[in-house]
Amino acid sequence: MHPFFLTLWGLLFPALAFAADPVPVPSEIQHVTVFLRGAQVTRTAHLKLHPGTHEIKLTGLSANIRPGSIQVAGSPHYTILSVSHRTNSLNEIKNSDRINRLNARVKSLALLKKQRQAIRSVYEGERALLEANQSIKGTGAAMDVDDLMEMAHFYRKRMKEIEYKLLEIKTDIKKADQETDRLKQQLNALNNNRKKHTGEIMIRLASVLNGSADLEVRFMVRDAGWEPLYDIRTENMQLSVELTYKSKVWQNTGYDWKNVSLKLSTGSPGKNGVPPQPVPWVLRMHPVQHTGSEKKDRHPNPNHPPFYERSDTLGKQKKSTATDATYRMKENNPYSAASSTQMLATAVNTEFEIALPYTIPSDGKPYDVEIGKHKIPATYWHYAAPRYDKDVFLLGRLTGWSDFRLLPGEVQVYCQGTYVGRSYLNTRVTNDTLDVSLGRDKGIVVERLKNKDFSKPTHVGHFTKIRKGWEMVARNHKNKPVQLTVVDQIPLTQTQEIEVEMIEAKGAVYHPKTGELKWNIVLEPGASHSFRYTYSVKIPDHKTLSNFDL
């Protein structure tokens, strides 16, 4: 007979009331499935049963349990009769290991302070003794000069030592006070959490067993989640990159997850699972109101080539309020979690079974959990948009990436063992290939220079015609050829009063709808190449352009 699960809503009857106070039973967290937001916690308890009815309760649980998610495993030895949930605002949470460590440190600092204060009293007494006896009184005969010098030397040396010691003690006491204040602030925050409501699950069961049995309870909590994080390493632009799939797991449920079995899921059980249904869309008329302040040309003018917007985003660092932290595993474990992680694709989600146990404290901070390492085929090229950034970017195009069920996330890029910066992996694409920025490459230089011969405007009738010319020079300082893409653009017009004409762009692919110019070349080692283009803009004499660089 296989174990089965009974949900809370199938067992909870409003008229049910426990005849007596349920017996508290300790439980431990064994397994946690962490979703992008929320987590399912599995707790186990060891029961001592006798034939008949038992009323037990699991206490000291998270106060953020979703009651409808509670599941209790049945057994051939007993039958679950009912399950209920409540919050308890009377009992305080037992001190965590962190609270105990902080309290112990505060006590040791208080003892250290008392010891330093006692030593300070000794030195201050010695200093007072020396000061009281610094006047030298003879016995009627003149004191020998050598004796006088020796006494002065002793006084000066000892007073110097005393003052140094007192300064050292003062510094130690100040540091102890500062650390004590900081620890007490942490303790106040943790103790406030201890006074929050806790969850309890009451279970009524009928047993046919006279002995011991295990009980398993699962439930969802809200204050937990994970997000993907990647490391990409490449060596000398080889045919593949090493992608390390990691995650930042956090939780603030009120209880540490100590050496638990983790599973990461891409699901979001908190979201509504009901598909939307269309409703009739009825158009209604409104009278036109003229305000007198309307402008004709309100349409935005795209100023960035599409790919450069992506590469610019890739180069920026994602801001985070959470501090970086490393995960904690069982000590003396030489294996990597990635080597034993299993990826399971369910009907709607992907789950990553982490084989090694992890500890995730309940502090809301992110902890790195490694999921897997993959070799992904890659091709490389360089990209430059000198109108917006003077640097040249090394880009990688990954193939076969969809086999690993990657989520969008931040990337830390390493090239030839050196950290080169952060990027972003955008997996919300339908292409077979995935482009990722691998950082800035100083070995390729692209300069953008204005052609001064086309800087003066000319007048034609009632119009002013401005002719613009630009030249970009690319140089390869590497010892091998590179594939280089250079992007620039000319402005667009959305009114008949302004005319834009593409005059010359030798070797470029021109996209009239976006104004983008793109050159693709192979730049040999030590070689340079020039890219030139010319265009003109014609506007009425009484008009000016606010976003046009002359």
Query: Can you name the residues that pair with 500 across neighbouring β-strands?
Result: 537
Report the pLDDT averaged over residues 381-394: 93
CA–CA separation, 112 vs 183, rounded Å?
15
Structure tokens at 474: 């690319």
C-alpha distance across the termini of the chain, in Å: 83
- Tens digit of pLDDT for each residue in 308-325? 333 333 333 333 333 333
Give the start-end residues of each E strand in 452-495.
458-460, 463-476, 482-489
- Tens digit of pLDDT for each residue in 162-185? 888 999 999 999 999 999 999 888
Q: With contact defined as beta carbons under 8 Å apart, do 279 and 404 qualify?
A: no
The b-or-e profile of 256-291 (16+ CB within 10 A means b, else e) is bbeebbbbbbbbebeeeeeeeeeeeeeeeeeeeeee
Structure tokens at 540: 């009425």
Average pLDDT, the chain: 79
- 511 pLDDT exceeds 90? yes
Residue 136: count other Cβ atoms within 10 Å of its Cβ.
11
Closest by CA to 265, choosing from 243, 252, 247, is 247
What is the helix (H) or strand (E) element at residue 104, kind and residue range?
Answer: helix 97-132
CA–CA separation, 77 vs 1, rounded Å?
10
What residues contact residue 544 under an 8 Å CB cut-off, 6+ apart? none
Q: With contact defined as beta carbons under 8 Å apart, do 530 and 486 qualify?
A: no
In the prediction, which pLDDT does 134 show?
A: 63
Place of tokens 């605002």: 89
- pLDDT-derived band at 510 (thresholds 50, 70, 90) equals very high
CA–CA separation, 514 vs 268, rounded Å?
38
In the prediction, which pLDDT does 545 show?
A: 80
Query: Was domain 444-540 assigned CATH 3.10.20?
Result: no
Amino acid of residue 441: D
- pLDDT-derived band at 520 (thresholds 50, 70, 90) equals very high
Closest by CA to 91, choosing from 57, 46, 122, is 57
Structure tokens at 213: 């049995």
Closest by CA to 246, choosing from 341, 331, 359, is 341
Q: With contact defined as beta carbons under 8 Å apart, do 367 and 325 qualify?
A: yes
In the prediction, which pLDDT does 33 show?
A: 95
Amino acid of residue 530: S
Q: Which residue has the higher pLDDT, 90 or 364?
A: 364
Say whether 185 sits in a helix, a strand or coil. helix
- Is the pTM higher than 0.75? The answer reads no
What is the helix (H) or strand (E) element at residue 106, kind and residue range?
Answer: helix 97-132
Report the pLDDT averaged over residues 23-31: 92
Structure tokens at 511: 């996209």
% of the chain exceeding 90 in pLDDT: 31
Residues 160, 166, 167, CA angle at the centre, nearest 5°?
Answer: 90
CA–CA separation, 220 vs 271, rounded Å?
13
Residues 46, 12, 193, CA angle at the centre, nearest 5°?
Answer: 60
- pLDDT-derived band at 14 (thresholds 50, 70, 90) equals very low
Q: Which residue has the higher pLDDT, 85 or 95?
A: 85
- The domain spans of the chain are 97-130+151-194, 444-540
- Tens digit of pLDDT for each residue in 253-288? 888 999 999 999 988 786 666 777 787 777 666 554
Say whether 29 sits in a helix, a strand or coil. strand
- Tens digit of pLDDT for each residue in 198-248? 888 999 989 888 888 899 999 999 899 999 999 988 887 777 888 899 999
